[in-house]
Structure 1
């Protein structure tokens, strides 16, 4: 049987690329599994104190944290399009002025949207004195799909998303580079039924099998084409 060089090289190239991409997705899945194991360990670790000293995001994300200070309702931001149990609503994000100096953003919880007037906020309570809160350090207060940046323009109380660094520049507050997703209850009528953090490892395994399936398909096509060529005496 005579093998045509160019088609054979093309099939080998496709197989090499798809097999390599499959291994890359497998490695990404293993990395995310390790991260998920870390997150589960953090859930049972003692809470870390947040103070005036800046804490790098990489060393605090997903850790349990504790912060003491006073809320700053004048700088509240309501993150729109955050549904809960199929009901539209907002996340209430507010800076906390830390006792001893410094500031940190706190995602205090979920608030339902007024069905008739979008900008009319349901009542909730903000403590006026010093409070101690606990929560999970997150990179942001959740991200929602957004076309452009119009829905997150500065100096708006209702926004689609909120960038910590941009908000620090906007307000002049020396914010920590993370957001505390509050888990402690202070009777403020906000919902804190937070979704569990997911790393998307199943997606990586799905892509892995897809790439390897494409490699197997390329091999099958090459063998089929070679067999047909042999029968025709090519």
Structure 2
């Protein structure tokens, strides 16, 4: 069989790209499997105590943690568009002033939204005084799709997302760079039925097979086209 140079190069290019994308998805799947293994290992590990000593978010994410301090309710932020069992609501995110002087953001839990007045906040309680907060370290308080800017935390308590570093700059609080997803009950009427962390590794394997399937299809098409061209030439 004779191959035409330009179509052959085009098919080889498509194959090279799709094979490379398949290996990229395979690498992403392996990375996510490593994260899942870490999450499973940390579930049975003793909690780490959080103080004002800086801890990198990457070094502590998914670890069980404990922090002792008191909430700062005047700095609360309500993260909008956080549904729970198909009901709209907010996540209540509040700084905790640590006993040794540092601060850390705590995602305290979910609160239903008023059906009639979107910005009305349902009643909940905030414990006074020092207490222990237990939970899971996360690198953010929860992210949702957002159009435009989320506003200033200094002037708007309801926002779509909350960047920890930006919030620290706005408020002047020396925050840890991660957030505690609270798990212990403090009698505040907030829902803490947190979704199980999933990495979606199955999707990466699916995309990998799709890309490699496209590479195989391109090869099959090229061989078929070359065979037809060879028959016409005879």
Using structure 2 for the length normalisation, give the TM-score.
0.96
- Once the two structures are overlaid, the 10-residue window that deviates more, 103-112 or 191-200, is 191-200
Q: Determine the structure 1 residue equivalent to 2:53.
A: 53
Equivalent in the alignment of 2:177? 177
Partner of 2:165: 165
Q: Which residue of 2 aligns with 1:125?
A: 125
Alpha-carbon offset, residue 97 of structure 1: 0.3
- Contact map agreement 2:92 2:108 (CA 8 A) in 1: yes
TM-aligned CA deviation for residue 3 of structure 1:
2.0
TM norm structure 1: 0.96
* Inter-partner Cα distance in structure 2 for 1:34 and 1:64: 18
> Which residue matches 1:36?
36
| Structure 1 stretches of at least 4 aligned residues deviating more than 4 Å after TM superposition | none
Is 1:24 paired with 2:24? yes
What is the rounded CA distance, in whole Å, between the counterparts of 2:198 and 2:71 in structure 1? 29
**What's the CA shift for 1:119?**
2.1
Alignment check: 8 A CA contact 2:136 2:180 kept: yes
Structure 1 residue ranges without an equivalent (≥5): none
How large is the RMSD of aligned CA atoms in angstroms?
1.1
Please say if 1:106 is aligned against 2:94: no
The aligned residue for residue 152 of structure 1 is: 151
Q: Which residue of 1 aligns with 2:14?
A: 14
Q: Which residue of 2 aligns with 1:212?
A: 212
Query: Which stretch shifts more, 116-125 or 94-103?
Result: 116-125
> Which residue is 2:62 aligned to?
62
In 1, are the aligned partners of 2:77 and 2:153 still within 8 Å (CA)? no
Following superposition, the deviation at residue 26 of structure 1 comes to 0.6
CA deviation map 1:183-203 (0-9, x unaligned)? 001111000000111112122
CA distance in 2: counterparts of 1:42 and 1:96, whole angstroms: 23
Residue 136 of structure 1 is matched in structure 2 by 136
Cα separation, 1, equivalents of 2:17 and 2:112: 49
Structure 1: how far apart are the matches of 2:112 and 2:17? 49
Q: How many residues align?
A: 233
Shift of 1:43: 1.2
1:195 and 2:195 are equivalent in the alignment: yes
1:39-95 CA-partner distances (Å, limit 9, x unpaired): 111111110000010111111111110000000001011111000000010000000
